[in-house]
């Protein structure tokens, strides 16, 4: 008698670890966590088939709250660890998670190279424009003039534009989300997981404790969905809308399908004609020896 395949429909509870989140009340990261749960549930993944990789920061605690595999790395090293996991076992679904500081400051170099390699990983960045874990310093996405304890006269630094940085570096799926719209974020996470290549979802995730400017109300007033006629395959259109600050656009700004991923190149280099290259070269050299 042939084996029967039993399909189990998961609930959100299947993806919870039992460890309660330690974020401040009202933190935007709660919405991101629920969106991750819902995204995984929508895909129907077994928890053991998923790895959540994070760096250091308030948002990087997220893997503790999930029943999937998790790797809490050192500061800024989310992408190297995610790369190693994905290359070692391409069958795993790897989600990278962290804050704007972890992604674009100490981890900025790794972010660029993960994008140019088109690593098959979905990176959800919880962007609160502040360093929350260290009690409120400016981050790479803080606005010019932003006042903190370490910048009492306002920061003179211009902010990084995460979406333009991702596109310029070679990411093939670039989206923006808002943790105050968790259903839409869950859908973007599903799309990011399904995308073959490096998927970046920069997510506005307000910090109610240390950032009194970029609040939930601020983003509800500033953020709008992309127009229905937006062409996500048009990189120049995506670039222009990523530049807009009033309004800021939510949704998939840019998508390029059919690009070979980093794992595809690794597989080609270790099998098939490329793997046979040393033998071919040896045979040619023997003819002239």
Q: Are 183 and 41 members of one domain?
A: yes
Taking only the tens place, the pLDDT of each residue in 132-178 is 999 999 999 999 999 999 999 999 999 999 999 999 999 999 999 99
Asked if residue 177 belongs to a domain, the reply is yes
- Range 68-95 average pLDDT: 97
Coil, strand or helix at 3 = coil
CATH number for the domain including 101? Answer: 3.40.50.970
Q: What pLDDT is stored for residue 6 in this prediction? A: 46
Asked if residue 7 belongs to a domain, the reply is no
Q: Are 202 and 271 members of one domain?
A: no
Q: Are 18 and 34 members of one domain?
A: yes
CB 51 within 8 A of CB 88: no
Q: Are 142 and 70 members of one domain?
A: yes
CA separation, residue 104 to residues 15, 18, 26, 277 (Å):
28, 31, 24, 39
Asked if residue 52 belongs to a domain, the reply is yes
Q: What pLDDT is stored for residue 3 in this prediction? A: 52
Q: What pLDDT is stored for residue 1 in this prediction? A: 47
Q: Are 186 and 49 members of one domain?
A: yes
Q: Are 43 and 177 members of one domain?
A: yes
Q: Are 23 and 115 members of one domain?
A: yes
CB 136 within 8 A of CB 148: yes
Q: Are 233 and 271 members of one domain?
A: no
Q: Are 207 and 266 members of one domain?
A: no
Q: What pLDDT is stored for residue 284 in this prediction? A: 76
Helix (H) or strand (E) holding 253: strand 248-255
Taking only the tens place, the pLDDT of each residue in 224-278 is 999 999 999 999 999 999 999 999 999 999 999 999 999 999 988 887 655 556 6
Q: Are 204 and 283 members of one domain?
A: no
Domain enclosing residue 276, as ranges: 262-289
Burial of 173 by CB count in 10 Å (0-12 exposed, 13-18 middle, 19+ buried)?
buried
- Range 218-227 average pLDDT: 97
Q: What pLDDT is stored for residue 231 in this prediction? A: 98
Q: Are 180 and 282 members of one domain?
A: no
Asked if residue 100 belongs to a domain, the reply is yes
Asked if residue 111 belongs to a domain, the reply is yes
Asked if residue 233 belongs to a domain, the reply is yes
- Written as six digits, the tokens of 94 are 């790897």
Q: What pLDDT is stored for residue 285 in this prediction? A: 78
- Range 182-199 average pLDDT: 98
Asked if residue 3 belongs to a domain, the reply is no
- Taking only Cα atoms into account, the Rg of the chain, rounded to an integer number of angstroms, comes to 21
Q: What pLDDT is stored for residue 272 in this prediction? A: 64
Q: Are 225 and 266 members of one domain?
A: no
CB 55 within 8 A of CB 78: yes
Q: Per the structure, how many domains does the chain have?
A: 2
Asked if residue 4 belongs to a domain, the reply is no
């Amino acid at each position: 008698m042939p084996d029967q395949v039993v399909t189990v429909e998961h609930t959100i509870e299947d993806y919870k670890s039992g460890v309660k989140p330690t974020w401040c009340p009202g933190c935007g990261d709660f919405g991101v966590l629920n969106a991750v749960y819902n995204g995984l549930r929508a895909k129907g993944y077994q928890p053991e088939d998923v790895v959540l990789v994070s760096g250091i920061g308030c948002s990087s605690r997220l893997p503790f709250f999930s029943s999937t595999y998790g790797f809490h790395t050192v500061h800024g090293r989310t992408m190297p660890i995610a790369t190693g996991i994905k290359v070692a076992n391409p069958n795993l679904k790897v989600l990278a998670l962290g804050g704007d500081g972890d992604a674009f400051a100490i981890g900025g170099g790794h972010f660029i190279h993960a994008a140019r390699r088109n690593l098959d990983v979905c990176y959800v960045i919880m962007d609160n424009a502040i360093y929350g874990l260290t009690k409120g310093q400016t981050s790479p996405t803080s606005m010019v003039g932003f006042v903190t304890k370490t910048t009492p006269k306002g920061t003179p630094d211009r902010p990084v534009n995460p979406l333009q940085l991702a596109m310029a570096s070679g990411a093939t799926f670039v989206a923006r989300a808002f943790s105050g719209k968790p259903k839409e974020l869950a859908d973007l996470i599903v799309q990011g997981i399904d995308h073959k290549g490096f998927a970046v979802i920069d997510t506005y995730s307000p910090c109610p404790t240390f950032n009194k400017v970029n609040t939930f109300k601020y983003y509800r007033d500033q953020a709008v969905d992309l127009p229905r006629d937006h062409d996500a395959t048009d990189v120049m259109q995506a670039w222009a809308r990523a530049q807009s600050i009033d309004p800021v656009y939510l949704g998939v700004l840019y998508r390029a399908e059919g690009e070979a991923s980093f794992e595809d190149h690794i597989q080609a280099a270790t099998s098939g004609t490329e793997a046979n290259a040393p033998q071919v070269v040896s045979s040619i050299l023997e003819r002239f020896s």
